[in-house]
Structure 1
Amino acid sequence: MAVRNKWLPQSQSAPVHNWQLERIVAELRQARSQWRAGCGRDRELGGRELPSRDVLRGILDALCGALFPMRLGPADLREESEDFYVGHTLDTALNALLAQARLELRYTARHSGASDIDLDASAVGIVQEFAAALPRLRALLDTDVMAAYQGDPAARSVDEVLLCYPGIMAIIHHRLAHQLYGAGLPLLARLIAEIAHSDTGIDIHPGASIGGGFFIDHGTGVVIGETAVIGERVRLYQAVTLGAKRFPVGASGLLEKGLPRHPIVEDDVVIYAGATVLGRITIGKGSTIGGNVWLTRSVPPGSTITQANAQNESFREVAK
């Protein structure tokens, strides 16, 4: 009797080919063994020890539905069933998130040599804190949705903004990821950020701190670095980069991590398409940064920076 392989689609008429699988499997096993030995991972746990991107995507879909049930929830949801749906969805999503949190904490403990005692209690505490923050995050996201509606003359309703705008989807994911990042789950947070990045083309590191009323218009190609600090009512356009100017190397020869190396953008700043803002500089409150500007110096509040005056300032610096 033929044995059905549960991992592969079945085809009754597929021809049989000689793929040299025995040799390929052996060579792949050797490649894995060499990599694990080189990374000090000679012994695996016998099962998957890392969080799952696919599982997280399902959790995120559920959380988005729970935050905005009549807009991002199921198509057949009725208002009278809203609370039941939210409660049931959150119970399922938070239990799934707890399992992923346990995987990250155990992985971190194993590879850092720390004790894994009380990791389950830590995971429960983190997820409870995350759950308690959801009403606050919903209120914050409402300010982002309203900023997009008020800031884009093409937006006909807040519902259109929530359903259609990639910048809104990116900031929903970021606010969830940032909460987990601060709670001690940076790997889960980074996975959430990369799911949003792949879906929207907007790359926001979960460590970035972003105030309310944040709006990314169009969005494609926006990059916001880990230590960026963004104030209230800030608006960015497509292809804006808030990045690092340099990457210091430590005594070990490796890049130093965790240093504040990205811009501080104060309240009510607008940065137009293609602008690149690098380094731990401050963009003062109420400033406007024009399109395609390359900026590596702080500017005072109320500044208007265009390509022309940015180039003139650079020439003055060289002349000194």
Structure 2
Amino acid sequence: MAEQTLTNRPSIDRVIGHLCSIDEMRHVCPTRAGEGDPLLSNSDVRRIVELASRLMFPGFFTEGDRGSSVMRAVMTLECHELYDLLVEQISAGMCFDGDNCDRSLTVIRDRAALCAESFIDSLPALRHILDTDIDATYLGDPAAVSTHEVIACYPGFRATMSYRIAHCLLKLDVPIVPRMITELAHSDTGIDIHPGATIGERFVIDHGTGVVIGATAIIGDNVKIYQGVTLGAKSFVTDDSNNPVKGIPRHPIIGNNVVIYSNSTILGRVTIGDNAIIGGNLWVTRDVEPGEKLIQARADNFRSTR
């Protein structure tokens, strides 16, 4: 075994030489002048979500005992940890962003610190809107025993909470980190919500697996969607090189008090009016009027071809 290891070492050195060759890399991790820039970390980003969740809902996302006598002290420590992680990861995201190539690390960290402070200031407002999501989920699900169960167990709420955290950071012009947050939630829950989507209060995802909500989707208040629902793009406008043009609205607008049942797909910049109901297993590419109900034709309306 020792001889084989020694024999293989020149081969390993040669492979590492190729892997480290800048000339052979098509995709190089962005760097700026000098070294020591912070690096993005999935584990740190996951910790950011965990800490923000703990601060908004004390006792639900921690493994240790948190009695009332020490709760304030523990939350203060966690808030400081959250701030430090935010500064580091927001700085890392900004270092990845080409627009910051000419900025010093000091300038980037100062800007990241302002973003981190603004995010922490927004936590009470974030909790308020998440409270509406929790209440709507509990009231709309006969199987829910309590709002506590919704917070502790429901993947739809977990994905929504991650989305709302990510969306808040995106509005602060934080690059990359918001998408990392929602993709971690996607891996955990099977629910894919782009941080750029706009979602109103009392939002409910029931069951949730397979839900996809695109970047330019707009969802009103008191909307409920079931598993397998897609709010996607019908087609892409392309440039002269046949590449998709980015940043244009291409996903649905969902009004207030809308219900979309399982496995329905709504594509393109269509509008689903207030109080509409979209039945299950439908393919929708047109506007739906307020109050309209789309359902599949009954099976007995079809003639068998056999």
TM over 0.5: yes
Structure 1 residue corresponding to 2:258, chosen from 255, 265, 269? 269
Work out whether 1:24 is the aligned partner of 2:24: no
Q: What is the SS of the residue equivalent to 2:216?
A: coil
Partner Cα distance (2:189, 2:9) in 1: 38
CA contact (8 A) 1:149 1:155 kept: yes
Residue aligning to 1:11? none
Do the aligned partners of residues 30 and 294 (structure 1) sit closer, same or farther apart at CA in structure 2, a change above 3 Å counting?
A: same
Give the CA deviation at 1:64: 1.1
Q: Which moved more, 1:234-243 or 1:35-44?
A: 35-44
Runs of 4+ aligned structure 1 residues displaced above 6 Å come to 40-44
Do the aligned partners of residues 81 and 244 (structure 1) sit closer, same or farther apart at CA in structure 2, a change above 3 Å counting?
A: same
Q: What is the SS of the residue equivalent to 1:122?
A: helix
Do the aligned partners of residues 29 and 295 (structure 1) sit closer, same or farther apart at CA in structure 2, a change above 3 Å counting?
A: farther
Work out whether 1:94 is the aligned partner of 2:83: yes
Partner Cα distance (2:183, 2:272) in 1: 27
Partner Cα distance (1:63, 1:31) in 2: 38
Give the CA deviation at 1:308: 2.9
CA contact (8 A) 2:38 2:91 kept: no
CA contact (8 A) 1:49 1:107 kept: no
Q: Which residue identity lines up with residue 18 of structure 2 in the other structure?
A: Q
Q: What is the SS of the residue equivalent to 1:307?
A: coil
Residue aligning to 1:315? none
Give the CA deviation at 1:181: 1.0
For each residue in 1:206-234, what CA deviation from the matched residue of structure 2 results, as whole angstroms up to 9, or x when unmatched? 10111010000000000000000000010
Partner Cα distance (2:30, 2:118) in 1: 36
Partner Cα distance (2:216, 2:14) in 1: 44
Do the aligned partners of residues 25 and 78 (structure 1) sit closer, same or farther apart at CA in structure 2, a change above 3 Å counting?
A: farther
The count of corresponding residues between Structure 1 and Structure 2 is: 294
Residue aligning to 2:293? 304
For each residue in 1:68-91, what CA deviation from the matched residue of structure 2 results, as whole angstroms up to 9, or x when unmatched? 112223431112322222221111
Residue aligning to 2:57? 68
Q: Which residue identity lines up with residue 275 of structure 1 in the other structure?
A: S
Residue aligning to 1:198? 187
Do the aligned partners of residues 204 and 32 (structure 1) sit closer, same or farther apart at CA in structure 2, a change above 3 Å counting?
A: farther
For each residue in 1:126-155, what CA deviation from the matched residue of structure 2 results, as whole angstroms up to 9, or x when unmatched? 111111111000000000011110010000
Structure 2 residue corresponding to 1:144, chosen from 133, 143, 148? 133
CA contact (8 A) 1:232 1:268 kept: yes
Residue aligning to 2:236? 247
Give the CA deviation at 1:119: 1.8
**Unaligned runs of at least 5 residues, structure 1:** 1-14, 313-320
CA contact (8 A) 1:224 1:241 kept: yes
Partner Cα distance (1:36, 1:106) in 2: 23
Do the aligned partners of residues 42 and 97 (structure 1) sit closer, same or farther apart at CA in structure 2, a change above 3 Å counting?
A: closer
Give the CA deviation at 1:35: 6.8
Q: Identity of paired residues, percent? A: 40
Do the aligned partners of residues 266 and 43 (structure 1) sit closer, same or farther apart at CA in structure 2, a change above 3 Å counting?
A: closer
CA contact (8 A) 1:66 1:85 kept: no
Please list, as runs of the form range in 1=range in 2, the aligned pairs for 1:181-196 lying within 5 A after superposition: 181-196=170-185
Residue aligning to 2:304? none
CA contact (8 A) 1:263 1:277 kept: yes
Partner Cα distance (2:24, 2:85) in 1: 29
Residue aligning to 1:9? none
Please list, as runs of the form range in 1=range in 2, the aligned pairs for 1:79-228 lying within 5 A after superposition: 79-108=68-97, 111-112=98-99, 114-117=101-104, 118-228=107-217
**Unaligned runs of at least 5 residues, structure 2:** 302-306
Partner Cα distance (1:80, 1:36) in 2: 58
CA contact (8 A) 2:94 2:100 kept: no
Superposed CA RMSD = 2.3
Give the CA deviation at 1:112: 4.1
Structure with more relative contact order (C-alpha pairs < 8 Å, separation 6 or more): 2
Q: Which residue identity lines up with residue 226 of structure 1 in the other structure?
A: A
Do the aligned partners of residues 43 and 81 (structure 1) sit closer, same or farther apart at CA in structure 2, a change above 3 Å counting?
A: closer
Q: Which residue identity lines up with residue 135 of structure 2 in the other structure?
A: M
